[in-house]
Structure 1
């Protein structure tokens, strides 16, 4: 993996962590709060969403760079094509 890709992945997880921290501060001010199971589900959902989006973007870029998205255009129709 390139350094740029590692930097992007690290930055994405850092932003995810920052969002979790800010939301935890907001939820602490609520009366009931959130249970341990709720936190686990919240963190797992965030990580899986981030991993899915990174994976799909990587597949898109890989496909475009290796020519899988190129359109194969048939040659002009000859006499034998009807």
Structure 2
């Protein structure tokens, strides 16, 4: 992967974290009952969920692109 792609991915995850923090504060109001640790756990959970789903999609596309999903003909045909 190129450095610019890695930079874009890191920036996307940072933007997601900020967006989740702002949305959570706006949705529950300034007097929400979630501590800083709870918000941190919420944001880390959302970012890790996105990372796992991206990784699985990349594996699926890599497998399909390199022919790992092709059906081999039966032997002797």
Aligned ranges 1:1-82 → 2 under 5 Å: 1=1, 6=6, 9=9, 12-13=12-13, 16-17=16-17, 19-27=19-27, 29=29, 31-74=31-74
Structure 2 unaligned residues grouped into runs of 5+: none
Q: Deviation of residue 32 (structure 1)?
A: 3.3
Under a length normalisation based on structure 2, what TM-score does the superposition of the two structures give?
Answer: 0.68
Structure 1 unaligned residues grouped into runs of 5+: 78-82
CA RMSD of aligned residues (A): 2.8
Q: Deviation of residue 76 (structure 1)?
A: 6.6
Under a length normalisation based on structure 1, what TM-score does the superposition of the two structures give?
Answer: 0.65
Q: How many residues align?
A: 77
**Larger C-alpha radius of gyration, 1 or 2?**
1
Q: C-alpha separation between the residues in 1 aligned to 2:71 and 2:3?
A: 32
The structure with more helix, counted as a fraction of residues: 2
